[in-house]
Structure 1
Amino acid sequence: MKKRIVRGLSVPQAIIECVKQERISHLFGVPGESYLPLLDALYDEPTLQFISARHEGGAAFMAEAYAKASGKPGVVLATRGVGAANLAIGVHTARQDSTPLVVLLGQVHRRFRGREGFQEVELDEWFRPLAKWAVEITDPERVPELVQRAFRVAKTGRPGPVVVSIPEDVFTATVAEAVLLAMDAPCPAPADDEVKRIEAALAAARRPLIVAGGGVKRARAEQALRRVAEQYSLPVAAAFRRHDVFPHDHRLYVGHLGLGAPAAVVETAKQADLILAIGTRLSEVTTQDYTWPLPHQTLIHIDIDEEALGKVFSADVAVAADAREALCALSGRQIVPSWNEWVLARRRAYEETARRPQPPRNVQEAIIAELQAQLPDDGVITNDAGNFAGWLHTFFSFKEQHLYIGPTSGAMGYGLPAAIGAKLVHPERPVVSLSGDGGFLMTAAELETASRYGVPVISLVFNNRMYGTIRMYQELQFPGRVVGSGLGAVSFAKLAMALGANGVTVGTVDEFAAAFKQALAAAKPTVIEVMTEPEQLSVTMRLPDR
């Protein structure tokens, strides 16, 4: 895109030009009087659609998932302190998930600043610890400069959320001259010496393991990862909630290092004598409470964020580089694998953990099998936080890239709004969200948003009338002493119909199969409420039958 110099734009028009040059199609938010001129300017812009949500938290989740699905920054709008407070969970999710997100907040009038005006909060200071960058723009002439900078900061290095606060009177001003130029995110490559050190370490290894994270997905480096893995017969494990980084049916895939990871998968990570961590910050969940890498293991850590290197574990070789550039540089090296038998053994160990029991022991196992059978190859899955996701993580086989969107932040209420954001990016693909009854009800109002805009997402709600993960930990730590984790009876099928969607309740896999087939063909959103046994707290834990 060429540099443009535009004169006489209003501030809202300047912001819209900054958004358009990022090739963004949708913005999300809840309308507010502090940024009405920006909403009015969107009225005249046919290339941008504003999705008006029911809650700023839902809008922020939609924008964050839109970014993951599109590879472009997400944009969410809100008003003053109250709207900002409501969307903070989306900022936290974008931070932990390394998602490019630009938050545009209307602030109180400049004349009222510092007087504790209506809904006034020091927004830039408030978000500074949570966001990658936060700024308040008080000079209208600097709006184009700083909004463009917000997009650059959000998408370069380790991507993340940027918060821009703009007083409401600034929106009514005019910009004398705006210099507009979108900048691509730099993709630094490793130095030759760094590549040679990695080559030497791999050549000396006997049990190497690749741990692939979100940086591989963001760099669109899945094919490069596959080529390197195949060239050297390197086994690949997926970091927490990065399931689709490598095909699960590939002979070199050895499992997902997530919550409740099977012991055999964790054992693979601990047996390895070399860990090649690519595009992962080696989070608490991925490293199973920081129990590996072990001191005797060689750690090669490749990440685009210099601050991630050595933040948790000291690396024998630390490389600040784009995942795709690093993987391409590793291709064609003098590495002769001597670990084929170990890889075969760890692949077999993974296959044992992923094999669905026959017959299914519970409705969750049966439904994941049916979902696998019916969902088209290009179907997208999103999920909420909760133990229900354990069945998806354990038994669903992701075979293609860009099929999964989930919150590494563990945010409840994420699944449905994320599905809406993903479906707006991929209207031709089926998008299915999985939620528990606790998480779904936190953002269930966004079902009306999906109905209003004609976004036919499919929501599976696993209803056990409890906050299941918390109940599990209560039973593990304080058996029989249940406080606060029980929930009341809610008909999610009736709720769906009240919000303009289809709704059905199922209790068997046959009922689910019929309902899911209809949902795939439906022109409006569908909620399939799955009644589950409250005793089945997780994939591996069941309370005694009463």
Structure 2
Amino acid sequence: MTQEITVAQAFARALAESGVRRIFGVPGGGSSLDVMEAAAAVGIEFVLTRTENGAVMMAGAVAETSGVPGVALVTKGPGVANGANGVACASLDRAPVLVVTDGFTPAQTAYITHQVFDQAAMLAPVVKAHGRLDGADPVQEIDQLLRLACTPPFGPVHVELTGPAARRLVPAARKAAAARAKEAAPLDPAAVEQVRERVARARRPVVLVGLEARRHPAETRRLVATLGCPVLATYKGKGVLPDDDPQVVGIFTGGTQEAECLGRSDLLVMVGLDPVEMILQPWPYGKPAVEIAAAPHPVHYIEPDARAIGPLGLVLAALEEGLRHQQCGWRAEELAQLRSTMRERLAYGPVASGVAPDRIASLAAEVCARRGLSARLSVDAGAHMFSATTFFPCQQPGDILISNGLATMAFALPAAIAAALDDPSRPVLCFTGDGGLLMCLGELSTAVRTGAPLIVVVFNDGALSQIDIKQQSRDLPTRGVRWERREDFAQVMNGLGGTGWQARDEAQYTAALEAALAAGKPCVIDVLVDPVGYRQQLKAMRG
């Protein structure tokens, strides 16, 4: 007699075999319950979040740091609508996530209108595929969805699962293949040779490291060492090369802060650079370029002289082997000067009160180093990210979590929770503005309930400072983006059962950091910040 299991059980088994250890979500009463029970039976923990948006962001953060597909579970109707921003984040930040939602059967939609809208159509622009697991071979469909999510460019897929489909029986012997990162294109030796020839003619190349290189740090580091040239990394590319490597001169955003370095170059070598990582400005550099990428990017800021698309590790290894006799025109002292100049330009000016944002980041790095801790960093969107990404060093890929493609606020806290649960041996510092934290304040409760070892550092400046700067730059009156009373986030955290401190100067901040790191549990440090220097930082970075 053929053994049978439900589709929900087959789905959970496929997730477990792909390395999934947690599902994040806010469940409903339909297929969500079937998936949760099936997942528990194969050792997958369900983490209840306070928002669907936060759940999908947590799933995306786990996918980015671990390479394992993330999974978020939400109910139909409002659950899907509330999670849509998180799905867009997974899409534009290239995270392989399975977004599992409840759904309606055709029989139900014949008479029900309550909570009914076309969920597939709503998410279609930001998912790679949609499936209902109600066809002739749901196990094969599970396999296809997992494979697609893990094929570059990585991204979310939508599983719209009704209760009857979840409880349908299928043969137990049918198994979906475990999801692993797939290649979008095969190796093209002719294309690799064209890139090699173009790089070989350059004497002063600059390597631009992007998010795709995170899965190939060893190959990227060997190529950079062979070339002996400066390296600029995107926010998500930080840590592919250690920030203390003398060849790393700073951050690449597509703005003006890197203009001096690129102006001295004769070729830009884009390694795993996804154009979604760059700011909303035309390409300003006027330099030839070559592109090395895991997947094609049809819409790009520049048309390169040569392009190699395929298995990134193999492409980089082949290039490094063919360029070992490359003559470098850069001097070590020149790289040191470029690095120093970029940091000086982004340094925050003197403050009359509170703690300067660059000191918040650098002091955190100093305290972690003094204690011998290798901390991870999550950074929210906002003016504070200029200091956080520049003055807190990363050593490995995944040391920083940031929404760079969507650039959404309310990302850093959910991402920090997921990273802390995934690897509790490493502390996680969550750098967020007060505006971003207010958008996801309920997730502090999630952090306390799960015991995730994280420290939320709030850059409390009493404003949406980046928007405030843009108002100022257009000589508009300040309207609607500042608030008179600053929230006391330390008090909020204490009220939720966590531990919180407020810091008004560097001494108080450093003492709070030491105490929070020693505590090993969820903490908030509410740091009062004077926003006076943000405008100069933004001008230095973006012009």
Q: Kindly tell me: are residues 399 and 57 of structure 1, through their superposed partners in 2, closer, same or farther at Cα, counting changes over 3 Å?
A: same
Which of 64, 74, 84 is the matching residue for 1:68?
64
Which of 146, 150, 164 is the matching residue for 2:141?
146
Aligned residues: 528
* CA distance in structure 1 between the aligned counterparts of 2:83 and 2:179, rounded to whole angstroms: 27
* CA distance in structure 2 between the aligned counterparts of 1:197 and 1:276, rounded to whole angstroms: 13
User: What's 1:491 paired with?
Assistant: 488
* CA distance in structure 1 between the aligned counterparts of 2:143 and 2:336, rounded to whole angstroms: 46
Gaps of 5+ in 1: none
* CA distance in structure 2 between the aligned counterparts of 1:473 and 1:183, rounded to whole angstroms: 44
Deviations 1:225-265 (A, max 9, x none): 11111112132110244222222221211210138x663x2
User: What's 1:350 paired with?
Assistant: 339
User: What's 2:252 paired with?
Assistant: 257
Q: CA deviation at 1:284?
A: 6.4
Is 1:513 the equivalent of 2:510?
A: yes
User: What's 1:83 paired with?
Assistant: 79
User: What's 2:318 paired with?
Assistant: 329
Give the percent of matched residue pairs that are identical in Structure 1 and Structure 2: 25
Which of 358-367 and 43-52 deviates more?
358-367
- Runs of 4+, deviation exceeding 6 Å: 356-360
Which of 466-475 and 5-14 deviates more?
5-14
User: What's 2:12 paired with?
Assistant: 16
1:137-536 equivalences in 2 (<5 Å): 137-139=133-135, 142-176=137-171, 178-187=174-183, 190-217=187-214, 219=215, 221-258=216-253, 263=257, 265-283=258-276, 285=278, 289-292=281-284, 294=286, 297-306=287-296, 308=297, 311-334=300-323, 336-341=325-330, 344-355=333-344, 362-375=355-368, 376-408=372-404, 409-479=406-476, 481-487=477-483, 488-536=485-533
Q: Are the equivalent residues in 1 in contact too, given 2:292–2:309 (CA < 8 A)?
A: yes
Q: Kindly tell me: are residues 123 and 300 of structure 1, through their superposed partners in 2, closer, same or farther at Cα, counting changes over 3 Å?
A: same
The residue type equivalent to 1:163 in the other structure is H
The residue type equivalent to 1:224 in the other structure is E
Q: Kindly tell me: are residues 333 and 320 of structure 1, through their superposed partners in 2, closer, same or farther at Cα, counting changes over 3 Å?
A: same
* CA distance in structure 1 between the aligned counterparts of 2:289 and 2:210, rounded to whole angstroms: 15
Q: Are the equivalent residues in 2 in contact too, given 1:73–1:102 (CA < 8 A)?
A: yes
Q: Kindly tell me: are residues 469 and 104 of structure 1, through their superposed partners in 2, closer, same or farther at Cα, counting changes over 3 Å?
A: same
Q: Are the equivalent residues in 2 in contact too, given 1:110–1:169 (CA < 8 A)?
A: no
Q: CA deviation at 1:504?
A: 0.8
Q: Are the equivalent residues in 2 in contact too, given 1:303–1:309 (CA < 8 A)?
A: no
User: What's 1:99 paired with?
Assistant: 95
Gaps of 5+ in 2: none
Q: Are the equivalent residues in 1 in contact too, given 2:28–2:74 (CA < 8 A)?
A: yes
Q: Kindly tell me: are residues 311 and 7 of structure 1, through their superposed partners in 2, closer, same or farther at Cα, counting changes over 3 Å?
A: farther
Q: Are the equivalent residues in 2 in contact too, given 1:379–1:430 (CA < 8 A)?
A: yes
Q: Aligned with 1:243: secondary structure?
A: coil
Q: Are the equivalent residues in 2 in contact too, given 1:363–1:508 (CA < 8 A)?
A: no
* CA distance in structure 2 between the aligned counterparts of 1:122 and 1:324, rounded to whole angstroms: 40
Q: Kindly tell me: are residues 20 and 58 of structure 1, through their superposed partners in 2, closer, same or farther at Cα, counting changes over 3 Å?
A: same
The residue type equivalent to 1:97 in the other structure is D
* CA distance in structure 2 between the aligned counterparts of 1:214 and 1:461, rounded to whole angstroms: 26
* CA distance in structure 1 between the aligned counterparts of 2:218 and 2:129, rounded to whole angstroms: 32
Q: Aligned with 2:532: secondary structure?
A: coil
Q: Are the equivalent residues in 2 in contact too, given 1:284–1:290 (CA < 8 A)?
A: no
User: What's 2:130 paired with?
Assistant: 134
Q: Aligned with 1:244: secondary structure?
A: coil
The residue type equivalent to 1:228 in the other structure is L
Q: Are the equivalent residues in 2 in contact too, given 1:353–1:394 (CA < 8 A)?
A: no
Deviations 1:136-176 (A, max 9, x none): 3334x533222221111100121101111112222232224
Which of 366-375 and 5-14 deviates more?
5-14
TM-score scaled to structure 2, two decimals?
0.91
Q: Kindly tell me: are residues 6 and 133 of structure 1, through their superposed partners in 2, closer, same or farther at Cα, counting changes over 3 Å?
A: farther
Q: Aligned with 2:268: secondary structure?
A: strand
* CA distance in structure 2 between the aligned counterparts of 1:243 and 1:447, rounded to whole angstroms: 27
What is the Cα-based RMSD across aligned positions, in Å? Answer: 2.5
The residue type equivalent to 1:302 in the other structure is I
Q: Kindly tell me: are residues 511 and 223 of structure 1, through their superposed partners in 2, closer, same or farther at Cα, counting changes over 3 Å?
A: same
Q: Kindly tell me: are residues 315 and 114 of structure 1, through their superposed partners in 2, closer, same or farther at Cα, counting changes over 3 Å?
A: farther
Deviations 1:304-344 (A, max 9, x none): 212x1564422221211122111111122245444433664
Q: Kindly tell me: are residues 393 and 266 of structure 1, through their superposed partners in 2, closer, same or farther at Cα, counting changes over 3 Å?
A: farther
Q: CA deviation at 1:299?
A: 1.9
Q: Kindly tell me: are residues 399 and 186 of structure 1, through their superposed partners in 2, closer, same or farther at Cα, counting changes over 3 Å?
A: closer
Q: Aligned with 1:121: secondary structure?
A: coil
* CA distance in structure 2 between the aligned counterparts of 1:30 and 1:303, rounded to whole angstroms: 36
Q: Are the equivalent residues in 2 in contact too, given 1:301–1:309 (CA < 8 A)?
A: no
Q: Aligned with 1:385: secondary structure?
A: coil
The residue type equivalent to 1:374 in the other structure is V
The residue type equivalent to 1:184 in the other structure is R
* CA distance in structure 2 between the aligned counterparts of 1:451 and 1:371, rounded to whole angstroms: 22
* CA distance in structure 1 between the aligned counterparts of 2:519 and 2:536, rounded to whole angstroms: 31
Q: Kindly tell me: are residues 349 and 40 of structure 1, through their superposed partners in 2, closer, same or farther at Cα, counting changes over 3 Å?
A: closer
The residue type equivalent to 2:197 in the other structure is A
1:38-53 equivalences in 2 (<5 Å): 38-39=34-35, 41-42=37-38, 44-45=40-41, 47-53=43-49
The residue type equivalent to 2:11 in the other structure is I
Q: Kindly tell me: are residues 96 and 374 of structure 1, through their superposed partners in 2, closer, same or farther at Cα, counting changes over 3 Å?
A: same
